[in-house]
């Protein structure tokens, strides 16, 4: 089984303290044996998640989540990623918009109860 996502969503998953740490900040889990395809090409070496471009098309091919508490496997990375997605209670959306429309679209998303994670500009 594999899951398709974006660089932005995968980075958000990895950076979410609720997914990896207890409420007191103590680490709960780690990932090992991760396999990804980025923009259609399988990555042979350990991928640097935070180096992904937000718009990268990412496919999670393999990986396992382990517990620090008992040093055992908790889930596959695909399963844990899906658990995280469902825990958000919302749909993750990545979008490219014309610069002149950014404020309008941001306002619509926020008025609908959504959240804009960040604004990235191209040079």
- What is the number of H-type helices and E-type strands within the chain? 4, 5
Q: In the Cβ-directed half-sphere of 120, how many Cα atoms lie within 13 Å?
A: 9
Residue 123 has pLDDT above 50, yes or no: no
Q: What tens digit of pLDDT does each residue of 33-90 get?
A: 999 999 999 987 778 898 999 999 999 999 999 999 888 999 999 999 999 988 887 7
Residue 121 has pLDDT above 60, yes or no: no
Asked if residue 47 lies in contact with residue 77, where contact means CB atoms within 8 angstroms, the answer is no
Largest Cα separation within the chain, whole Å, is: 52
Which tokens belong to 123?
A: 């040079």
Separation between Cα atoms, residue 8 and residue 84, nearest integer Å: 14
Q: What tens digit of pLDDT does each residue of 82-95 get?
A: 999 888 877 777 77
């Amino acid at each position: 089984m594999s899951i398709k996502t974006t660089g932005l969503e995968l980075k958000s998953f990895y950076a979410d303290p609720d997914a990896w740490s207890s409420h007191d900040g103590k680490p709960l889990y780690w990932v090992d044996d991760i396999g990804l395809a980025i923009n259609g090409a399988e990555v042979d070496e350990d991928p640097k998640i935070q180096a992904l471009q937000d718009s990268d098309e990412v496919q999670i091919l393999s990986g396992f989540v382990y517990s620090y508490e008992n040093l055992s496997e908790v889930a596959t990375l695909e399963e844990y990623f899906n658990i995280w997605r469902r825990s958000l209670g919302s749909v993750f959306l990545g979008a490219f918009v014309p610069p002149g429309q950014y404020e309008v679209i941001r306002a619509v998303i926020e008025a609908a109860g959504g959240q804009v994670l960040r604004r990235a500009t191209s040079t």
